[in-house]
Amino acid sequence: MIVGLAGGVGGAKLLQGLALALPDVALTAIVNTADDFELYGLHISPDLDTVLYTLAGLANPTTGWGIAGDTRVTLDAIARLGRDPWFILGDQDLATHILRSERLKAGTPLSAIMAEFASALGVSTTILPMTDDTVATMVDTPAGRLEFQEYFVHRHQEDDVLGVEFVGGADSSPAPGVLDAIAAAELLVLCPSNPIVSIGPILAVPGIREAIERASAPVVAVSPIVGGKALKGSAGKMMRELGKEVSARAVAGEYLRLIDGFVLDQVDAHLLQSVSSLGVRALATPAVMRTVDDRVALARTVLDFARTVRTGRALEVE
């Protein structure tokens, strides 16, 4: 079994590559839910849905999130009723939010709901939320403490980030199946997602980091930072404002003592030695996934690379 930790678009793309590269191998995605929020009374899970839609082959190829060809009729009608349509909710997409909200209200855990959705959409990858509990990424800014989507979407990441906290993280438990999947994994992949607010919350769920440290499988991370910039999303600006270097090397640094191997883009090949000096095997390869073929190619490279990686962590534990 292969286990991938992922946030949104970049992570979902590599997960799809892994699923397509190894159709006969069980794949489990452990997905960030700390960006989840409530809008118009509906529970929105942006990262889970991006992973779901991508693996179902439904994702919008231009944005990476949302559903291809989706319309915005309901959102326009919400605006007509006087509300600010600041977060894009497509009409097909809304079905997911409506049914998830209904099931959550009835007491069904998020993990069970996602299993139902994946089954209905013919997705064979197991999509697990990191937790069934409520964890919320809060972003501290000069304008005060903001919910993540308020910072990221509504205010267009324009506020300086002074700090990040995963409220509820310390009191949360891994969703059913998460720790078992990590223990049973033959390969653990930290997908190219924001190390602070996508992979960070997953690792902050008590038990998950420890399970990865204990796992016998090699752990390989793929950098979401290419050429000193985030390919997508908030990683670049946020890392800089938090006083971190915006580089693939800095991402490897975030995962120190957790990973055995690190994959960075070929444009960052000059950083290989610097990453290796952290005690991590490093590989430079084309890591920008524009097409589905790119995703499969990167997945194959990661799989090949993982075979060459000794589990240094495991050796330390032995």
Q: How many residues bind its own copies (CB under 8 A)?
A: 34
CA atoms within 13 A on the CB side of 295: 24
CB atoms within 10 A of CB 74: 16
Q: Does 86 bind its own copies (CB under 8 A)?
A: no
Closest distance of CB 88 from its own copies, Å: 14
Quick one: which of 197, 73, 210, 221 has its CA closest to 140? 197
Q: Does 193 bind its own copies (CB under 8 A)?
A: no
Task: Give the interface segment with its own copies, choosing from 27-35, 63-71, 138-146, 216-224 (CB under 8 A).
Answer: 63-71
Q: Binding its own copies by CB under 8 A: which of 61, 88, 102, 229?
A: 102
Q: Binding its own copies by CB under 8 A: which of 61, 105, 277, 291?
A: 105
Looking at the Cβ atoms of 63 and 92, the one nearer to its own copies is 92
Query: 145 forms bridges with which residues in the sheet?
Result: 140
Q: Does 124 bind its own copies (CB under 8 A)?
A: no
Looking at the Cβ atoms of 91 and 160, the one nearer to its own copies is 91
CA–CA dist 242, 180 (Å, integer): 34
Looking at the Cβ atoms of 96 and 141, the one nearer to its own copies is 96
Closest distance of CB 55 from its own copies, Å: 15
Q: Does 107 bind its own copies (CB under 8 A)?
A: no
Task: Give the interface segment with its own copies, choosing from 87-95, 226-234, 263-271, 297-305 (CB under 8 A).
Answer: 87-95
